[in-house]
Every structure is written in structure tokens, then in C-alpha cells.
């Protein structure tokens, strides 16, 4: 049997230095900029459960990758077209539940 890798430990080791981030990861301010929203908007999406950062640290902040930035852009677009954030969250949670069933 192959050894099990705890990726959260690997990620923690890669974020030890303030200037060293895993490839493709950005801090919340750069993610917000890339998605054309404010940092406060991203924080609000996190609070609502629409987005979960790859990693959170008290000292160095929250980290995102291109997939999460795309999700933030999609949430913004859906909200601009009239979808309530509550509805977007429900759609996201249902989609995640369907993916979990497909993985079984």
C-alpha cells in the first residue's frame, strides 16, 4: 500500500517563508485584484462560505489559486446578473454534493 501524504502539512512547509509561496498561489489582495473585486468582497464571500482559501495564516493572510479566482469572478458575474448570494451558495453546495457522490 502506498504511503498517505498529508497535503496540508506539505502546504504548511511550503508557506514557511513570507516571500515564498507555492507556485500559483497569491494573497487575498492579488486575488481580489485579479477578480476585479475588493478585498472586502472576497472576505464577505469567505464569510458566506462561497469561497474557501487554500490556506489561512494569522500572520501572512489567506492564499488563493487561479481556480478560486475564477470562482470569485463567476460569483461576481452571477450576482451582477441578478442571482442572490444565498442562491449562488445553494447552487455551489449542491454541485459539491453531486461531485462527492460521483467520487464514490
Q: Does residue 95 or residue 47 have the better pLDDT?
A: 47
Q: Please name each of the domains of the chain with its CATH number.
A: 24-103 (1.10.1660.10)
Give tens-digit pLDDT for 23-82.
Answer: 888 888 999 999 999 999 999 999 999 998 888 777 668 889 889 999 999 999 999 999
Q: How many CB atoms lie within 10 A of CB 19?
A: 5
For the question of whether the overall pTM of this predicted structure is more than 0.75, the answer is no
User: Does pLDDT of 97 surpass 90?
Assistant: no
3-state SS assignment for residue 4: coil
Q: How many CB atoms lie within 10 A of CB 64?
A: 26
Determine contact, residues 28/62, Cβ cutoff 8 Å.
yes
DSSP state of 78: H
Q: Which residues pair with 26 in a beta bridge?
A: 64
Task: Average the pLDDT over each of 18-22, 83-87, 93-97 and give the range with the smallest value.
Answer: 18-22
Amino acid at each position: 500500500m502506498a504511503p498517505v501524504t498529508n497535503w496540508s502539512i506539505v502546504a504548511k512547509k511550503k508557506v514557511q517563508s513570507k516571500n515564498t509561496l507555492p507556485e500559483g498561489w497569491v494573497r487575498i489582495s492579488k486575488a481580489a485584484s485579479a477578480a476585479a473585486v475588493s478585498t472586502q468582497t472576497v472576505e464577505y464571500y469567505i464569510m458566506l462560505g462561497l469561497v474557501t482559501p487554500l490556506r489561512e495564516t494569522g500572520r501572512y493572510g489567506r492564499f488563493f489559486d487561479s481556480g478560486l479566482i475564477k470562482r470569485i469572478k463567476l460569483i461576481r458575474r452571477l450576482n451582477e446578473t441578478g442571482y442572490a448570494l444565498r442562491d449562488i451558495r445553494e447552487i455551489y453546495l449542491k454541485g459539491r454534493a453531486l461531485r462527492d457522490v460521483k467520487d464514490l
